[in-house]
Chains A and B, each alone.
Chain A
Amino acid sequence: MKQVYLTVKSNEPIAAGTWKMVLEGDTSAVTGSGQFVNIALPGLFLRRPISVCDLSEGLLTLVYKVVGKGTDAMSAMAPGTRLDILTGLGNGFDASACESSALLLGGGVGTAPLVLLTRELRSRGKSVTVLLGFNRAGEEMLAAELEALGARVEIATLDGSKGTRGFVTDILHQKADGPDAIRYDYFYACGPMPMLKAVCGAIDAPGEMSLEERMGCGFGICYGCSCHTVNGPRRVCADGPVFKKEDLIWQSK
Chain B
Amino acid sequence: MAIEVNLCGVRLRNPIIPASGTFGFGLEMKDVYDLNLLGGISLKGTTREARFGNECPRIAECPDGMINSVGLQNPGIEVFVNEKLPALRKIYSGAIIANISGFSEDEYRECCEKAAQAPEVDILEVNISCPNVHGGGLAFGTSAKAAAGITRIAREVSSKPVFIKLSPNVTDIVEIARACEDAGADGLTLINTLLGMRIDIVRRRPVVANRYGGFSGRAVFPIALRMVNQVARACKVPLMGCGGVATAEDVVEMMMAGATAVQVGAENLRDPYACKRIIEDLPGVMSRLGIKDINEIIGIV
Residue tally, chain B, CB below 8 Å to A? 36
In the complex, the answer to whether A46 meets B270 with C-beta atoms within 8 Å is yes
| B25 nearest CB neighbor, chain A only | A221
Residues of B with C-beta under 8 A to A222: 21-22, 24, 59, 68, 70, 269
Residues of A with C-beta under 8 A to B10: none
Distance (whole angstroms) from the CB of B267 to the closest CB of chain A: 10
- Cβ-defined partner of A215 (8 Å) among B53, B59, B266: B59
Residues of chain B touching chain A, judged by Cβ–Cβ distance below 8 Å, are 21-24, 28-29, 31-32, 44, 50, 52-53, 56-66, 68, 70, 73, 207, 217-218, 266, 268-273
- Cβ-defined partner of A45 (8 Å) among B24, B29, B50, B65: B65
Residues of chain A touching chain B, judged by Cβ–Cβ distance below 8 Å, are 1, 3, 40, 44-47, 86, 213-217, 219-228, 232-233, 238
In the complex, the answer to whether B70 meets A223 with C-beta atoms within 8 Å is yes
- Do A45 and B272 form a contact, CB below 8 Å, given A220-B28, A224-B70, A233-B52? no
- Do A224 and B65 form a contact, CB below 8 Å, given A40-B270, A46-B269, A233-B73? no
- Cβ-defined partner of B73 (8 Å) among A86, A219, A223, A238: A223
Complexed CA–CA distance, A224 and B59 (Å): 6
- Cβ-defined partner of B56 (8 Å) among A44, A45, A213: A213
In the complex, the answer to whether B73 meets A217 with C-beta atoms within 8 Å is no
- Cβ-defined partner of A225 (8 Å) among B23, B56, B60: B56
In the complex, the answer to whether B61 meets A46 with C-beta atoms within 8 Å is yes
- Having A217-B272, A221-B24, A223-B53, one finds 18 other A-B pairs with CB under 8 Å, namely A44-B61, A45-B61, A45-B270, A46-B66, A86-B272, A214-B58, A216-B68, A217-B268, A217-B269, A222-B70, A224-B58, A224-B59, A224-B70, A225-B59, A226-B52, A226-B53, A233-B52, A233-B73
In the complex, the answer to whether B273 meets A3 with C-beta atoms within 8 Å is yes
Distance (whole angstroms) from the CB of B127 to the closest CB of chain A: 15
In the complex, the answer to whether A45 meets B58 with C-beta atoms within 8 Å is no
- Cβ-defined partner of B62 (8 Å) among A45, A213, A238: A45
For the complex of A and B, the 10 pairs showing the least CB-CB separation, nearest first, are A217-B269, A214-B57, A224-B59, A221-B24, A214-B59, A216-B59, A223-B73, A216-B269, A46-B61, A220-B28
